[in-house]
Chain A
């Protein structure tokens, strides 16, 4: 029930938009987010975009994983 998935916005029309959810196109509401554009990734939950996914922050987190494995802060 709390499932939410990152998906790319492929079309916007007013408060509604279309996303590509692993190859399936779904209509979702964009009423909860501001200033999104086609090509942005958003977190989709119960038919709504909850928030934008930040590509820069995603990269940074992946880099942290690798660092932890190398014994980063130890």
Chain B
């Protein structure tokens, strides 16, 4: 497919790998955090880490929207289906995420709850139009990429007077989470996770542009390169970060210029600003309460806010015992450090959200890790 195949060329990957090996200084380490789960997935799927010299490593960040949603919010969604008999529409990944008491939306659905998987907010609106006598709720999750479609749906519902439609809003913000990681004691004081530079998210940046990252580069003196999702994009971006580190620069550079600009998608930003506003604080799995890190529905649109309409309580829920997702999300631990990994916890029977979504670090290790191990064993033999 155009704009995909040419960014996966093996021949160019080999050349880029040579370029990186030539420019990386063997006297130092390069620890590059890829914030976004999409990059984690690409790095594993295409074996990008194996193409890097030993002193260039990728540290996986918390940018998996399914993984960072606290269990209490999933319990809320389940409560909506069980207590209010609504039709709950959601993106596919959410169905299998473990909630409290080993429950999940998939189990609720199997037990007769009306949970429907949708591809788009447009599908959720359609379900609301077709079921005027039922309450239809869209369980909205995701970073800045997925937020504008939610705003469009709310505006459309108002214009069409779709009174049976509302949104359970769980949209979160990337820059706030990046800042939280850099401010966390793990990074600041204990040096448990040393991060030298960031690979910036691809699709989030198509919406917000590159400007919001300029603050980090300056304030924390960390280089940021906005990187596309294809393997060659990741490699080229790693090279750009290595060059910045070598030259002592900390700037925002953009590798993904074919879609991302400095200003971002201004029309989408305006739509979001019209319908949604900052929450004072929001809980993230792994990061805890992060100030101004999420969005809620503005009061003029409150009739479409499921949290208000159904007076949702705040649910405090404990993580599954032994699940290391919270530390993995901060980059402090690796999936293979978790005792449940691959034994009790597998994609077929996930214990934590990091094993559910293909962007979760545990799922990526599981799906592609075995190939690596087999290959290492072969080459050792």
A73: chain B residues at CB < 8 Å are 23, 243
Q: How far is the CB of A8 from chain B (nearest CB, A)?
A: 7
B14-26 vs A: 1/0 string, CB under 8 Å?
Answer: 1110111011000
A36-60 residues with Cβ-Cβ distance < 8 A to B are: 41, 43, 45-48, 50-55, 57-58, 60
CA of A64 to CA of B260, assembled, Å: 17
A69 at the interface (CB under 8 A from B): yes
A66: chain B residues at CB < 8 Å are 12, 15
Contact between chains at A68 and B152 (CB < 8 Å): no
Q: How far is the CB of A19 from chain B (nearest CB, A)?
A: 12
Contact between chains at B257 and A1 (CB < 8 Å): no
Contact between chains at A64 and B236 (CB < 8 Å): yes
Contact between chains at A22 and B1 (CB < 8 Å): yes
Q: Is the interface of B mostly helix, strand, loop or mixed?
A: helix
Assuming A22-B1, A33-B265, A69-B18, is B122 touching A45 (CB within 8 A)? Answer: no
A14 at the interface (CB under 8 A from B): no
Q: List 26 A-B contacts (CB under 8 A).
A: A1-B66, A1-B91, A1-B92, A1-B146, A4-B145, A6-B1, A6-B4, A29-B149, A29-B152, A32-B267, A41-B2, A46-B91, A46-B149, A47-B123, A48-B148, A52-B259, A54-B257, A55-B258, A57-B258, A60-B257, A68-B19, A68-B20, A69-B14, A70-B19, A73-B23, A74-B23
Q: Give the interface of A toward B (CB within 8 A).
A: 1-6, 8, 22, 28-29, 31-34, 41, 43, 45-48, 50-55, 57-58, 60-62, 64-66, 68-74
